[in-house]
């Protein structure tokens, strides 16, 4: 039996790991140790470890990453350092066969580095994608520390190969978030739960770490556009990347409807009934096309990421956002291209976890050219 080591820091990575964990639990040839940290343990971000426990997953260990109030790039580095310090001890206790890391999130970056140094094979989900902000650098660095790559599309797969990764270690499996959202139970009373009208939008706007000094201005533009459009909306508070406090304060002072976080079930049931997603979340790039929902993608955070024809890119400009909102309100029954998988990514990943070579021969990496 192979043991898979997984760490989750926030709702963004948990929603992608969830369908994989479910498949592992059903497989007699695999086991897992799950570590929970980061925003999952923060009351002001919804204490979402409760959702993980409610879903029935066994938690191997927890540790605090974010226990300071400073909102800065330096604070992000110190939190990353805490993860890098704690994880080798936890990994040694777990003694896993494979580390499954994901995306571009600090705790997953730390576990990737730790695994590579501890001679444990690392498989990385969703490498090779292009975005803005610090996320791109983190993601590409994770790819260089990883031994296997589970890319979300052919574009990302080809980029990983161009980065010097060997083609036989790179697999196009799609994005597991599509599996997660397609498996959510329907809730016909969701609009009533959040007091929303039929024509409403969801807004999720995170800070851009390379534009910290503009965070307050950027969120004010988006909030002003929402107010002027007079549409109903539910705003989800952002993650805690540098610049988050100005965004949260502006949202809380706006008198607009907002929530700290949403369970995956509530988020999906709202998303598929909405007129669109506004902001700069990767969900707007990866997931909305599955439900044929448009995305108003604001600013540079997702710059360069492969997107479907449901994404309308706008600048931090109130008039551009207003025009995009009006455009979304006119769209009816449009079917968009799906480019991040068809909902069976978790099955492909779990199948690979059972088959890939985990001998010492694959630990020593070299660039392919």
Q: What is the CATH number of the domain that holds 81?
A: 3.40.50.2000
Q: Which tens digits make up the pLDDT trace of 244-277? A: 999 999 999 999 999 999 999 999 999 999 999 9
- Considering the domain boundaries, does residue 181 fall inside one? no
Q: Which residues contact 325 (CB under 8 A, 6 or more apart)?
A: 201, 225, 229, 231, 276, 278, 296
Instruction: Please report which confidence band the pLDDT of residue 132 belongs to, taking 50, 70 and 90 as the band edges.
Output: confident
Are residues 263 and 210 both part of a single domain? yes
Residues written for the chain: 369
Looking at residue 44, its pLDDT comes to: 87
pLDDT higher for 169 or 70?
169
- The yes-or-no verdict on residue 68 having pLDDT over 90 is no
> What radius of gyration, in Å, describes the C-alpha atoms of the chain?
20
The Cα–Cα gap between 314 and 155 comes to: 23
Q: Would 336 be classed as within a structural domain? A: no
> What is the rounded CA–CA span in Å between residue 194 and residue 29?
42
- 334 burial level (CB within 10 Å; 0-12, 13-18, 19+): exposed
Q: In the predicted model, is pLDDT for residue 6 greater than 80?
A: yes
* Both structure tokens of 308: 């479907």
* Domain assignment of residue 367, yes or no: no
pLDDT band at 70 (very low <50, low <70, confident <90, very high): confident
Residue 142 lies in a domain: yes
The reported pLDDT for the residue numbered 67 is 81
Q: What pLDDT is attached to residue 134? A: 92
Instruction: State whether 222 and 109 are in the same domain.
Output: no
Clarify whether residues 300 and 268 are in a common domain. yes
Could you tell me if 89 and 131 lie in one domain? yes
Would you state the pLDDT for residue 69?
76
Tokens of 89: 């001890």
- Answer yes or no: is 369 within a domain: no
Q: What is the mean pLDDT of the chain?
A: 96
Work out the angle at residue 209's Cα, subtended by the Cα atoms of residues 205 and 214, and round it to the nearest 5 degrees: 70
Could you tell me where the beta strands, DSSP code E, fall in 126-242? 148-151, 170-172, 200-204, 232-236
pLDDT band at 300 (very low <50, low <70, confident <90, very high): very high
CA dihedral 158, 121, 91, 75 (to 10 degrees): -30
Beta bridge partners of 297: 279, 313
Task: Please tell me whether residues 21 and 156 are part of one structural domain.
Answer: yes
183-219: pLDDT as tens digits: 999 999 999 999 999 999 999 999 999 999 999 999 9
Per-residue model confidence as pLDDT tens digits over 12-45? 999 999 999 999 999 999 999 999 999 999 998 8
pLDDT for residue 284? 97
Identify the band that residue 138 occupies on the pLDDT scale cut at 50, 70 and 90.
very high
pLDDT of 342 reads: 87
Q: Tell whether 209 is covered by a domain.
A: yes
What pLDDT, on a 0 to 100 scale, did the predictor assign at position 140?
A: 98
Strand order in the sheet with 2-8: 61-63, 30-37, 2-8, 98-102, 122-125, 148-151, 170-172
- Residue 290 confidence class, pLDDT cut points 50, 70, 90: very high
Q: Structure tokens of 285?
A: 């790039």
Q: How far is CA 57 from the centre of its chain?
A: 19
Are 369 and 163 in contact by the 8 Å Cβ rule? The answer is no
Please report which helix (H) or strand (E) contains residue 295, including its range.
strand 295-298
Is residue 208 domain-shared with residue 300, that is, in the same domain?
yes
Residues 21 and 140 in one domain: yes
| Domains contained in the chain, number | 2
Cα–Cα distances in angstroms (integers) from residue 101 to residues 4, 13, 82, 120, 160, in the given order: 10, 10, 17, 12, 16
Q: What is the extent of the structural domain holding 85?
A: 2-175+342-362
pLDDT band at 317 (very low <50, low <70, confident <90, very high): very high
Asked whether residue 236 is assigned to any structural domain, the reply reads yes
Does the residue 38 lie in any domain? yes
């Amino acid at each position: 039996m192979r043991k898979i080591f997984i760490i989750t820091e926030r709702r963004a990575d948990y929603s992608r790991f969830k369908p994989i964990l479910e498949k592992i639990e059903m497989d007699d040839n695999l086991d897992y140790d799950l570590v929970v940290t980061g925003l999952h343990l923060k009351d002001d971000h919804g204490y979402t470890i409760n959702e993980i426990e409610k879903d029935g997953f066994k938690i191997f260990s927890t540790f605090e990453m974010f226990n300071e109030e400073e909102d800065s790039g330096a604070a992000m580095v110190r939190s990353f350092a805490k993860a890098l310090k704690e994880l080798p001890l936890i990994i040694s206790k777990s003694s896993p066969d494979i580390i499954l890391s994901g995306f571009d999130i600090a705790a997953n970056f730390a576990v990737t580095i730790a695994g590579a140094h501890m001679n444990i094979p690392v498989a990385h989900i969703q490498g090779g994608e292009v975005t803005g902000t610090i996320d791109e650098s983190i993601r590409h660095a994770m790819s260089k520390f990883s031994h296997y790559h589970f890319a979300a599309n052919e574009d990302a797969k080809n980029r990983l190969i161009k980065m010097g990764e060997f083609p036989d270690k790179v697999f196009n499996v799609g994005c597991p978030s599509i599996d997660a959202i397609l498996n959510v139970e329907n809730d016909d009373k969701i609009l009533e739960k959040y007091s929303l009208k039929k024509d409403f939008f969801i807004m999720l706007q995170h800070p851009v770490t390379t534009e910290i000094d503009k965070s307050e201005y950027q969120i004010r533009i988006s909030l002003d556009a929402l107010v002027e459009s007079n549409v109903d909306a539910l705003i989800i508070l952002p993650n805690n990347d540098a610049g988050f406090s100005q965004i949260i304060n502006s949202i809380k002072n706006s008198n607009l409807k907002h929530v700290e976080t949403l369970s995956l079930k509530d988020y999906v049931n709202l998303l598929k009934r909405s007129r669109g997603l506004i902001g700069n979340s990767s969900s707007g790039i990866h997931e909305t096309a599955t439900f044929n929902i448009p995305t108003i993608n604001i600013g540079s955070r997702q710059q360069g990421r492969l997107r479907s024809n449901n994404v309308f890119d706008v600048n931090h400009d109130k008039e551009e956002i207003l025009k995009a909102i009006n455009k979304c309100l006119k769209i009816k029954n449009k079917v968009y291209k799906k480019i991040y998988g068809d909902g069976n990514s978790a099955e492909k990943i779990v199948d690979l976890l059972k088959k890939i070579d985990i001998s010492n021969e694959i630990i020593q990496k070299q660039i392919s050219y």
